[in-house]
Structure 1
Amino acid sequence: MTFTREIKIAPSILSADFADFGREITAIESQGADWVHVDVMDGHFVPNLTFGPPAVKAFRPHVKTVMDVHLMIAPVDPYINAYADAGADILTAHLEAGPHIHRTLQAIRAAGMKAGLALNPGTPAEAAAHLMDMVDLICVMTVNPGFGGQSFIDMTGKVRQLRGMIGDRPVHIQIDGGVTPTTAPLVAAAGADVLVAGSAVFKGGSVSDPAPYGANIAAIRAAANAALA
């Protein structure tokens, strides 16, 4: 993974056809996805239950770009090696998921993955101030985590703060929740470079008709880039 601040679109397969993940992943990548975002939920840290390490391992052979695994689970530490073995390129843990986030981030990197740090809408940017040298990505939640299809919560002020705190470090700012061609320019202008989108990418398409995926990805990317012009 070569670091760049160019806009990257990371479709969330939480919005894909659950009976056909392999072909869905191939479809979104062929239609321009930069990363593949995998939402792991435990029914405890968030009120939903999705994938575990065996599912992520099954996705891995189909992902040719970057497999971006977002853990919405608590605790995190006992499962880090399992997700490394499953093939995650980036593993993101929530700051709110446990009392020893330094240890968690260290363990993610020690397992050979890029370390991501997610912040819920109610968590201020300042909470990440002493973690900047331990992370490769900061995920700003623009919905309360747990379900796809929620409305965007404006976190542009937080994104700007984080961008200033990051400085010249090679740290991505990712936005997760309610990303559309309407909201993408707001966060891109504030400093975000990775946009997670679920329903906004998958709406109108299917594995047998993936062209709408490409049109949706292109629309989000164009809107974000227009804000940077």
Structure 2
Amino acid sequence: MSRLLCPSMMCADCGILKQEVLELEKAGIDVFHIDIMDGNFIPTFGMGLQDVEAICSISEKAVDVHLMTENPVRHIKNFIDMGVDIIYIHPEVDELPVRTLQLIKTYGGKAGLVLSPQVTVESMVPLLSLADYVLVMTVSPGFAGQKYLEFVNTKIKQLVLLASQYHYKVIIDGACSLSKIKELSKLNVDGFVLGTSVLFNKAQSYKEIVETLRKI
């Protein structure tokens, strides 16, 4: 499987964060995925800045941050300075998303858009030429343990088709179980955010799970 495998570090054991990062790297993951929440756009809190800084300093792999925050432009330079490679924003809570996406690129990062379940693909088309990645949420953002929203599959198919025109990668985030990864791989998506549905808190080692996913 050549898809990008992106462990959601919110699901890792933060008490042994360094060990988790090193074991995931040895297992062969591709990108560390970090959720940042401000308690406003999403009424919960994700990982902290110190966690981002630690993962960037420990890891030799790429790191992304998913900014579930209002007015995300305020935080772009801080995350790039920490060593973050990819920054995802929610355009529905950004007054000037074009400016924000351009700023990410200006500072040397890769720009990512997030498609929430309630947002239409059509509303995002004007921004797609600025995106390096599109993160498709198959659950409501900000809460773990949700069920996969089947109606989002139509949007995934739309975005995969548009990717050939706008040249971004499609990443799926939310309830990515082994069976869902098998199913969605057939739609030619580019990668998956891996949480408790397939990677964390399992009897198998990270290496064993990643090897199983690579065989799909």
Partner of 1:91: 87
Partner of 2:189: 192
| C-alpha deviation, 1:132, in angstroms | 1.9
| C-alpha deviation, 1:45, in angstroms | 1.1
CA–CA distance in structure 2, aligned partners of residues 215 and 168 of structure 1? 36
Verify the 8 A CA contact 1:25 1:63 in the aligned structure 2: yes
| C-alpha deviation, 1:24, in angstroms | 0.5
Residue 216 of structure 2 corresponds to residue 218 of structure 1: no
Partner of 1:141: 137
Residue 110 of structure 2 corresponds to residue 114 of structure 1: yes
Q: Give the gaps of 5 or more residues in structure 2.
A: none
Q: Deviations over 1:74-94 (max 9, x none)?
A: 120111111111110001111
CA–CA distance in structure 2, aligned partners of residues 10 and 115 of structure 1? 16
Residue 167 of structure 2 corresponds to residue 174 of structure 1: no
Partner of 2:199: 201
Q: Matches of residues 1-229 of structure 1 in structure 2 within 5 Å? A: 6-154=2-150, 155-199=152-196, 200-204=198-202, 212-223=205-216
| C-alpha deviation, 1:169, in angstroms | 4.1
Partner of 1:227: none
CA–CA distance in structure 1, aligned partners of residues 8 and 170 of structure 2? 16
CA–CA distance in structure 2, aligned partners of residues 203 and 215 of structure 1? 13
CA–CA distance in structure 2, aligned partners of residues 129 and 185 of structure 1? 27
CA–CA distance in structure 1, aligned partners of residues 98 and 183 of structure 2? 30
Give the letter for the 2:183 counterpart: L
Q: Deviations over 1:205-226 (max 9, x none)?
A: 5xxxxx5222222333434xxx
Give the letter for the 1:10 counterpart: C
CA–CA distance in structure 2, aligned partners of residues 150 and 221 of structure 1? 25
Verify the 8 A CA contact 1:8 1:34 in the aligned structure 2: yes
Verify the 8 A CA contact 2:71 2:95 in the aligned structure 1: no
CA–CA distance in structure 2, aligned partners of residues 174 and 124 of structure 1? 16
Higher mean Cα deviation, 160-169 or 115-124?
Answer: 160-169
TM-score, normalised on structure 2?
A: 0.92
CA–CA distance in structure 1, aligned partners of residues 61 and 186 of structure 2? 25
State the identity as a percent: 31
Give the letter for the 2:145 counterpart: G
Higher mean Cα deviation, 46-55 or 133-142?
Answer: 46-55
Verify the 8 A CA contact 2:129 2:167 in the aligned structure 1: no
1:221 and 1:156, CA in 2 relative to 1: closer, same or farther beyond 3 A? farther
Give the ranges of 4+ consecutive aligned residues of structure 1 lying more than 4 Å apart after TM superposition.
none
SS in structure 1 of the partner of residue 10 of structure 2: helix
SS in structure 1 of the partner of residue 67 of structure 2: strand
CA–CA distance in structure 2, aligned partners of residues 221 and 42 of structure 1? 34
Verify the 8 A CA contact 2:10 2:47 in the aligned structure 1: no
| C-alpha deviation, 1:167, in angstroms | 1.3
